[in-house]
Structure 1
Amino acid sequence: MNLKSSSTHNATISIQRLFKIRLSAMTPRDMQEDHRVATPLELLFDLVSVIAIAAAAVGLHHALAEAHYLQGIVQYCAAFFAIWWAWMNYTWFASAYDNDDTLFRLLTIVIMAGALTMSAGIPDFFASMDLGLIVIGYVIMRLAMVVMWLRASINDAARRKTTLSYAIGITVVQLYWVGLYLAHFSSFGLFFGGFGLGIILELLVPALTERHGTTPWHRHHIIERYGLLNIIVLGETLLAGSLALNQLNSSEFTMAFIQLAISSLVIVFSLWWLYFSREEQLKHKQLKMALIWGYGHLIIYLAGAAVGASFALLVDIMAGHTSTPLWVGHYAVAIPIAIYLVGLWFVRDRYVLSASAKSVLPVFALFILLIPLAMDLPGIAILLICCVYLRSHLVCKTTIPGEH
């Protein structure tokens, strides 16, 4: 009898230990912490985000192939904003308060589930303007963030007004999104007018809330996190290049597909090189700079993923799967590349470079917009190589020896 009671007791203890949730105080992270890098959980979160980004890029690709240019671009921007904004808010919060306890991990899993739900809803959004799954997934992600901000408010007394303002602001905007979905706008213009207002409300939450007290985010950690997402975004172009090589066994194959694959590799490598130059991103932690740099990256990410979608469009054009003219495909590649360069100038080069080096990216962006009138993809690729070389040469020429 005693043996039986002892076995039951031990089993009970084992079950309690199995389901025990380890909770730690969500205190502010050290803003000067050495060797702060992305955690495995953050990398897993990025992996889920890339699925949603790929879904948005595929939607843009098919919209362009079907000649739904304006509507497709607007839908792409709307879907991408939802993906990026949820990613960005989690990233900055984790930089400031990630305590890696069980509840933080579970809430991150909930956010990832919301991202997957959004990914599942993107095809329906492009096909029929059905926003249902996107709204459900987005609200799941954002409400999980509300819980995180409330946890931070408990342990960070000095920034309680800031953390509570985040929780309240996010909640109010989610009510707006649900109301927008339930309104069932029949007009394309009215719907996206309402969507634009929602974006403004979302952007205002951090801009106004951080004025109560800046959250303790880690500068180098944020720079690394943004760089990792940019690599993911540029990966969309590499995927399109592989689609071109897949045509090797196709009856429609021509040497133009080899040219396209090589051009895509050169272009993505050039864009990578320009982003990951020696000049530092985010020069300081002032709120104005943080907002410009943090928000401005949306331009870079939107354009980077659109380059991949445009290369996929070119594969369809060359294979005869769409009636879209070839010159449209070339401009579909050139325009986002130009926007990418301008975006990089906007968030970094105009702050960190001097003399003539500061204007290299905008000037080459203009040249790239003119290239499709006379040349095709190799011309764009060669121009980007020249851009990388000239910018690097001018920076080295104007940099004081020993400085980077």
Structure 2
Amino acid sequence: MSALDAAAPHGRESRHAGWLELFFDLVFVAFAAQLSHELHGDPGLRDFAVFFALFFPPWWMWINLTVSANLFEDDGARRRLLMLFAMLCLAAMAAAVPEADTTRGAVYALGYAGTRLVLLGLWWPATRFPAPNRVPRWRPLSYCLLSGLLWAASAAVPPPWQYAVWAVLIAAEMVLLLTARGRGVPGRLDTGHLVERVGLFVIIVLGESVLGLVTSMDDAWTARAAVVAVLGFALLAALWWSYFDFGSTTAELMLGSAGAARAYLLARDVAGFLHYFVTAAILCMAAGLATAVEESGHAHLAEGAVWALAGGLALYHAAHAVIALRFGRSPSSVAVWAVPGIAIPVLVAVASDALAPWLAVLLLTAEAIVHLLYARTLSARRRKAAAA
């Protein structure tokens, strides 16, 4: 979903997110706030490692449940109760985030185990579908039930071995998914619905970034803080503009025009794996921007804060570059915008000791705006060439 791979919508009508899905997303507002808060101030390498580790399981469950809702369009009481229970489990995981790497690890593990059982409940009816859409029973039993039981058992494992168990279980889920290659998926994905759902998650993390800017002003009610907050908002606005004008449109076109098997693989890689890095990058930026507002009166940002902010922007562009390559763009066309998009934030981070907080945010905002303008120029040229 590269912001620089502009395309026009393919015009295919698609269903939209239902009220239950939108209600379900609310728990991720709390999750995003908890995770982003853990990177406020001056995070170290351990803090970043814990952040990325704790973010993946809920993200992975969200994308699994989203695909389930996409394939099984059902608004019955059974599905509603399952999804509400999943919300409760994810809320428990969110509450455990501040100490999930120490005293609350058991709650985090049990919450995730509960979501695997929800996934089993959603997929089990598909084991009774008529061929060729029938799902083999061993797949939900291994991918959902066995995984859930092992996650529940991990609650009794003391740290740090508990985290090694989690890593092994997540890796096993990845292996099961990658080896399946779409076999046993009952029907074609509704690509428009999937792109919309992923876009809504991006809106959630962008919203957390805006909320962080607003609440951080409580601790720094000064003109400098206001300047940094305005620059930070401009940065987020540029990311929103480029993502939804070009990135999500390109994704819907590429997924919608692909065959069923290729559409599944593209959706798995782009929506499932690569958007983890897109959304994680925005949450890092949210924490860095909030800290920049709070420390606007300092000579420069703390090292951890600037890497959360600038490193987050570099990761955001890097993830989009890989997405563009996955969609078949040539390396040379991607490098034109990806190299400066990654290099400039890294240079800002390296030189941050010589940059006031407002200047560091200004440089990153300028990069995001130039990125957007380049995308618009490229899009206009393509439309002109197509019309000719």
- When the two structures are superposed, what TM-score results if normalisation uses the length of structure 2? 0.83
Q: Confirm whether residue 391 of structure 1 aligns to residue 366 of structure 2.
A: no
Task: Quote the offset at 1:306 in angstroms.
Answer: 1.4
C-alpha distance in 1 between matches for 2:124 and 2:314: 41
Equivalent residue number for residue 4 of structure 1: none
Evaluate the alpha carbon distance shift between residue 357 and residue 392 of structure 1 in structure 2; reply closer, same or farther with a 3 A threshold: farther
Look up the SS of the partner of 1:161 in the other structure.
coil
Equivalent residue number for residue 306 of structure 1: 284
CA contact (8 A) 1:56 1:76 kept: yes
C-alpha distance in 1 between matches for 2:199 and 2:192: 11
C-alpha distance in 2 between matches for 1:388 and 1:221: 25
Gaps of 5+ in 1: 1-31
Task: Quote the offset at 1:308 in angstroms.
Answer: 0.8
Give 1:184's aligned amino acid. Answer: P
Q: How does 1:247-266 map to 2 (within 5 A)?
A: 247=219, 253-266=221-234
Evaluate the alpha carbon distance shift between residue 402 and residue 156 of structure 1 in structure 2; reply closer, same or farther with a 3 A threshold: farther
CA contact (8 A) 2:181 2:265 kept: no
Equivalent residue number for residue 140 of structure 2: 166
Q: Deviations over 1:171-215 (max 9, x none)?
A: 222233233332213x4xx55443322221122233233443334
Moved over 6 A (4+): none
Q: Quick one: which of 173, 180, 194 aligns to 1:209?
A: 180
The farther-off stretch of 137-146 and 355-364 is 355-364
Q: How does 1:3-402 map to 2 (within 5 A)?
A: 34-61=13-40, 65=41, 67-125=42-100, 128-162=102-136, 164-185=138-159, 187=160, 190-216=161-187, 217-247=189-219, 253-278=221-246, 279-281=249-251, 283=254, 284=258, 285=260, 286=262, 287-294=264-271, 295-318=273-296, 325-348=301-324, 351=327, 357-359=333-335, 360-372=337-349, 373=351, 375-399=359-383, 401-402=385-386
Q: Deviations over 1:226-282 (max 9, x none)?
A: 0110011111210121024334xxxx5432201211121111111112211334115
C-alpha distance in 1 between matches for 2:334 and 2:43: 36
Gaps of 5+ in 2: 1-10
CA contact (8 A) 1:280 1:352 kept: no
CA contact (8 A) 2:217 2:293 kept: no
CA contact (8 A) 1:349 1:358 kept: yes
Equivalent residue number for residue 29 of structure 1: none
Task: Quote the offset at 1:96 in angstroms.
Answer: 0.2
CA contact (8 A) 1:111 1:140 kept: yes
C-alpha distance in 2 between matches for 1:156 and 1:42: 27
- When the two structures are superposed, what TM-score results if normalisation uses the length of structure 1? 0.80
CA contact (8 A) 1:356 1:394 kept: no
C-alpha distance in 1 between matches for 2:38 and 2:300: 16
C-alpha distance in 2 between matches for 1:163 and 1:366: 48
Evaluate the alpha carbon distance shift between residue 211 and residue 381 of structure 1 in structure 2; reply closer, same or farther with a 3 A threshold: closer
C-alpha distance in 1 between matches for 2:293 and 2:100: 24
How many residues align? The count is: 358
C-alpha distance in 1 between matches for 2:324 and 2:137: 29
Task: Quote the offset at 1:334 in angstroms.
Answer: 0.4
C-alpha distance in 2 between matches for 1:101 and 1:54: 31
C-alpha distance in 2 between matches for 1:195 and 1:319: 41
CA contact (8 A) 1:38 1:224 kept: yes
C-alpha distance in 2 between matches for 1:312 and 1:204: 37
Task: Quote the offset at 1:122 in angstroms.
Answer: 1.2
C-alpha distance in 2 between matches for 1:223 and 1:347: 14
Give 2:153's aligned amino acid. Answer: G
C-alpha distance in 2 between matches for 1:332 and 1:355: 27
The farther-off stretch of 154-163 and 136-145 is 154-163
Task: Quote the offset at 1:325 in angstroms.
Answer: 4.9
Evaluate the alpha carbon distance shift between residue 72 and residue 388 of structure 1 in structure 2; reply closer, same or farther with a 3 A threshold: same
Higher relative CO (Cα under 8 Å, sequence separation at least 6) belongs to 2
Alpha-carbon RMSD across the aligned residues, in angstroms, is 2.7
C-alpha distance in 1 between matches for 2:73 and 2:175: 23
CA contact (8 A) 2:182 2:265 kept: no
* Identity over aligned pairs, percent: 22
